Amino acid sequence: MSEPVRSEDLRISDAERAAVAAGLQRAHDAGQLDLAEFDERVRAVWAARTRGDLARVTADLPALPPPPGPRRVFGDDDAGTAMKVLTTIWLCLGLVNLAVWGILEGTVGGIHPWWLYVALPPGAVLGTLYAIGIGRPGRG
């Protein structure tokens, strides 16, 4: 029976290479690598065949910076929660009014776009509140 393959001898996929290359990009952005080193290491990453090859490319670097998390639209505080709820209500009411208007326009025809009078004023208020920082992440 053959010996099991060591972890560092396992073949790697393009997805693993891309993840390490993205980590090197973050290391470059953080100032841990200059442009020449970054270019040399990215070439080595794409030439790598095993996990050991990848480990050697990043061995002298501190833990690679983690990828940025998803960008949040609203903060985690009470203001962010309130803006999230109000925006959801506004979107639902606006879409219901748009659907009713669309049905009437399709059946009767020639209907003035009254749903805009329902949707735009509260949307403007929500947009203004968000623009001044209410409910944004990292703001009040």
pLDDT digits (tens, 9 = 90+) for 12-67: 999 999 999 998 998 898 889 999 999 999 999 999 999 999 989 988 888 766 67
What pLDDT does residue 140 have? 41
What pLDDT does residue 65 have? 62
User: Is residue 70 exposed (0-12), middle (13-18) or buried (19+ Cβ within 10 Å)?
Assistant: exposed
Q: How many CB atoms lie within 10 A of CB 115?
A: 21
Q: Tell me: the pLDDT tens digits for 98-125?
A: 999 999 999 998 888 998 999 999 999 9
Residue 50 phi/psi, 5-degree rounding, is -125, 165
Q: Is 11 helix (H, G, I), strand (E, B) or coil?
A: strand
